[in-house]
Amino acid sequence: MKEYYSPADFDGAPKYDAHIHYHTFDGLFVRKAAKAGLHLLTVNTNFDILPIDVQFEISRSLHLRHPQTFNFLGAFDATNFASETFADDSVRQIKKCRAAGARGIKIWKNAGMVLKNEAGQYLMADDPLFDPIYAFLEKEKIPLLAHLGEPRNCWLPLERMTTHSDRQYYSKNPQFHMYLHPETPSCEQQIAARDRILERYPGLIFVGAHLGSMEWSLEELANRFDRFPNFYVDLSGRITHIFEQTFRNRNGVIDFFQTYRDRVMYGLDYFVSPNGSRNWMRPVCKCFPRVYMNWLFGHLYGEIEKHWLFFATDQVIKTGKVLNTPLSPRYIKGIRLPKDTVDRIFYENVRRVYLNSNLNG
């Protein structure tokens, strides 16, 4: 007999947010999360929002104060790829992160979408320049979290995008809408570069952020899980795409999560900062940081509860407008996966993939 959760079980259920960006030394949010039984994995990222050295110091400091409930992934600086000492510098940076307790390393979409060599070609994530880094991570069994590419909608015209949120985002940010920039590498090229890394480094523990940028097709994802035994994904920032596929093929979605329950981990992809800005050096909120942080925690915890109810129960939850159609339903019925599956997605897989690696030593 399979066991199932009821909606009232949420507070007591184990929960790990495997993809958050924690951009403040203030531990208030971590303490509130710990009290609520929510563990956090903050992801240092090679973006220009906050220098990776500052992200690292925040992570190290909070991990020291909250070693059980707050963990982090380090990052290396891919923007230095043209330096002759790039590989050595990156490996040194990874060792520094590891010594401070990092549970893995992140590579970001600037590889493939932003960085260009002298000849004006995009530096793809499978460029040989990265080989010493991947080889080191594979040898040391250090997980790699990879945000490569973007949602496929990014390469489609606005009217063909599947979700309302993507359509809104790309209509407001045409600079990131790759359909308008055909000179850049295609969606397929991004995925192909990623797949070549997986082929070349079969022992590398590889987590594809944001459903591995294959959010549009669980069949495509299943195909990669079958081909690459060390490939995992997080759900961060792409739950809407799960809702979209559930509207189309509810049983297929249920089968997918049952079959691949060891490969998927929950994450939200929110920024925690004291003033509402992704970069705490550029405040956008005039309210007191503590007031804001209290509000933010309540808001994010509510989001996590909504997502948990979707996976764990058959309760109807409010989604807002999901589909890129005028009559998009605003509610969805949960897919009620067995308790064991829910716990793997919301907690166990994060522990197994990131925390039980040999970084524990």
Spatial distance between the Cα atoms of 20 and 29, rounded to a whole number of angstroms: 12
Region binding Zn ion by CB under 5 A among candidate stretches 198-206, 264-272, 325-333, 338-346: 264-272
Shortest distance (Å) from residue 24 CB to Zn ion = 16
Are the C-beta atoms of 10 and 308 separated by less than 8 Å? yes
CB-wise, 215 or 269, nearer to Zn ion? 269
Region binding Zn ion by CB under 5 A among candidate stretches 83-91, 225-233, 261-269, 283-291: 261-269
CB-wise, 269 or 343, nearer to Zn ion? 269
CB-wise, 253 or 353, nearer to Zn ion? 353
The one-letter amino acid code at 326 reads P
Shortest distance (Å) from residue 270 CB to Zn ion = 9
Region binding Zn ion by CB under 5 A among candidate stretches 180-188, 266-274, 279-287, 348-356: 266-274
Region binding Zn ion by CB under 5 A among candidate stretches 52-60, 75-83, 269-277, 330-338: 269-277
Token readout for 45 is 């990222």
Say which residues have a Cβ less than 8 Å from residue 286's Cβ, sequence separation at least 6: none
Region binding Zn ion by CB under 5 A among candidate stretches 180-188, 262-270, 297-305, 310-318: 262-270
Shortest distance (Å) from residue 238 CB to Zn ion = 11
Shortest distance (Å) from residue 113 CB to Zn ion = 14
Angle at 166 between CA 190 and CA 313, to 5 degrees: 100
* Phi, psi for 306 (deg, rounded to 5): -60, -45
Shortest distance (Å) from residue 268 CB to Zn ion = 9
Region binding Zn ion by CB under 5 A among candidate stretches 85-93, 223-231, 265-273, 327-335: 265-273
CB-wise, 269 or 348, nearer to Zn ion? 269
Q: State which residue has the least CB distance to Zn ion.
A: 269
Alpha carbon 285 to its chain's center: 25
Judged by CB under 5 A, the chain residues 32 through 61 that form the site for Zn ion are none
CB-wise, 244 or 269, nearer to Zn ion? 269
Inter-CA distances, 321 with 197, 243, 330, 332, Å: 36, 10, 5, 11
Shortest distance (Å) from residue 51 CB to Zn ion = 16
Are the C-beta atoms of 132 and 91 separated by less than 8 Å? yes
> What letter does residue 129 receive in the DSSP assignment?
G
CB-wise, 17 or 269, nearer to Zn ion? 269
Shortest distance (Å) from residue 43 CB to Zn ion = 5
Region binding Zn ion by CB under 5 A among candidate stretches 56-64, 116-124, 263-271, 310-318: 263-271
Shortest distance (Å) from residue 17 CB to Zn ion = 11
Give the three-class secondary structure for 96: helix
Are the C-beta atoms of 344 and 261 separated by less than 8 Å? yes
Question: According to the binding rule CB under 5 A, does residue 343 interact with Zn ion?
Answer: no
Task: Output the CA torsion sign for 272, 277, 278, 281.
Answer: negative
CB-wise, 238 or 344, nearer to Zn ion? 238
Question: According to the binding rule CB under 5 A, does residue 348 interact with Zn ion?
Answer: no
Token readout for 136 is 């080191």
CB-wise, 138 or 269, nearer to Zn ion? 269
Question: According to the binding rule CB under 5 A, does residue 269 interact with Zn ion?
Answer: yes
Shortest distance (Å) from residue 117 CB to Zn ion = 26
Give the three-class secondary structure for 127: coil
Token readout for 360 is 């524990």
Spatial distance between the Cα atoms of 16 and 345, rounded to a whole number of angstroms: 9
Are the C-beta atoms of 264 and 257 separated by less than 8 Å? yes
Spatial distance between the Cα atoms of 138 and 312, rounded to a whole number of angstroms: 34
Spatial distance between the Cα atoms of 44 and 212, rounded to a whole number of angstroms: 18
Query: Which residue ranges make up the site for Zn ion (CB under 5 A)?
Result: 269
